[in-house]
A and B are shown apart, each in its own frame.
Chain A
């Protein structure tokens, strides 16, 4: 089954404690991206990657890091989380330049205390 898998689904942490949210897709997609979803603000792009070792900032990259060492994986790293990063996070992938359809993971609800 074609899917984007995120882990964990729920995460509660404290300010300053480094964390990683994993994302993996099994569709051999070139493009992957991270979004955060906040009430009234919709989905905002954090970072995206057009292929292995190619990443770029989205609209709200501050406080986040990403890496793309393998085509299927695109982890999101919060090196020093703060309460304003409490949000619902989604990873997404698409087939590439001529394909606009995004496949989303099930989301990670992060709470930073």
Chain B
């Protein structure tokens, strides 16, 4: 079993839809939970960053972490064609400077105009 499980999709939605992306994990030591967005032929860029459990909102994006269920989510409201990308969940233990970050396989999202 992988430490981080993520459905690779692809996920295709119409413009304006609410998108839900999810990951599950098995390592209870993870404390930092992140979502990276990767456009085609580009490197991943950090989109959302959460420490421990709870919700975090940034514009149209909301990240949720449920440590009791070992489940994290990213919601995109009013999705736009420019949101079409691969979304990678990522998580790491406390204080490792990112070098123990484990990534999900990524979910490809297509938002149709």
List residues of chain A with CB under 8 Å of any chain B CB.
Answer: 4, 30-31, 33, 35, 40-45, 48, 50, 90, 92, 94-102, 104-107
Contact = CB atoms under 8 A, between A and B. Distances in A.
B98 A99 contact: yes
Contacts, number: 71
Interface residues of B, number: 26
Contact of B32 (A30, A33, A50, A100): A100
Contacts of A96: 97
Nearest to B34: A100
Interface stretch (B39-47, B55-63, B67-75): B39-47
B88 A42 contact: yes
A107 B105 contact: no
13 contacts: A4-B43, A40-B105, A41-B105, A42-B104, A43-B44, A48-B99, A97-B96, A99-B97, A99-B98, A100-B32, A102-B90, A104-B43, A106-B42
